[in-house]
Amino acid sequence: MIIVMISIGFFLAFLAIHVIWWRTRLPSNTIRAIFRLYLVCMMVDVVILGAVTQNFAATLYGALIFALAGISYTITYTAVDSDSPTLMMVAELAARKDRGMSLEEMLDLVRVRPFVRSRVDQMLRDGMLVERGGRYALTDISSFSLTLFNTYRKLVNRGNMGG
């Protein structure tokens, strides 16, 4: 029973530290900061689980609870950190009610909110792209991510949609 309580407790501590940190002094690179916080909490969780249980399987079980809950929250957090073009459009359309919007009006939205520029800048900060003399290239981590996603999409026969 203690393994489940320790890991759920660590997940709640991770959330509490994240909220207090963000509310008191927002990190300059929030995505990198939350990943680092997640990794540190997970390492401490594993050490404590190992010391308390002295059992590999119990430690692994508890560590997986924290690992999966933490990464689920961290991935969800990226939606807080970055705007969604779909939700932006839906909110703007809802505000206009029955009047709606023309295609041109919707395109005006992205003239003041350049999503591609914003994501490229984030990817440079997060190490998913690297700049070489004004040109950008993929890093190993982004190539690996693409291979992972492509494998799944081939499995379900989904083709190359996205974005």
Partner 1 sequence: MDFNITLLFPAFFALLANMTFQVVTHRWGFLGYVQSIVLGFAFGLLVLAGIETFLFSTQGFTADRVALFVGDGSLYVCAGYLFFQLANIGESSIRFRIIREYRAAGREMSFEELTARYNDTGIISGRIARLERNGKLRKTDDRYVIVDSSLLRMHAILRFLKKFLLGKSSEFE
- Binders of partner 1 in range 42-71 (CB under 8 A): 53, 55, 57-58, 60-62, 64-65, 68-69, 71
Q: Which of 83, 125, 127, 140 binds partner 1 (CB under 8 A)?
A: 83
Residues of span 127-146 touching partner 1 by CB under 8 A: 128-129, 132, 134-138, 142-143, 145-146
Residue 17 sits in the site that holds partner 1 (CB under 8 A): no
Residue 158 interacting with partner 1 (CB under 8 A):
yes
List, in order, residues 6 or more apart from 80 with CB less than 8 Å away: none
Interaction of residue 160 with partner 1, rule CB under 8 A: yes
Nearest distance, CB of residue 49 and partner 1, angstroms: 11
The one-letter amino acid code at 84 reads S
* Smallest gap from residue 48 Cβ to partner 1 (A): 16
Number of residues that bind partner 1 (CB under 8 A): 86
Long-range contacts for 31-35 (Cβ within 8 Å, ≥24 apart)? Answer: 31/77, 31/78, 31/81, 31/122, 31/125, 31/126, 32/125, 32/126, 34/74, 34/77, 35/74
Contact between 74 and 18 (Cβ < 8 Å): no
Site for partner 1 in 108-127 (CB under 8 A): 109-120, 122-123
Give yes or no for residue 29 binding partner 1 (CB under 8 A): no
Q: Which of 43, 140 has the CB closer to partner 1?
A: 140
Which residues, listed in sequence order, are joined to residue 132 by a DSSP beta bridge? Answer: 135
89 CB contacts (<8 Å, ≥6 apart)? 106, 109
Q: Residue 128 carries which DSSP code?
A: S
Assess 101 for contact with partner 1 (CB under 8 A): yes
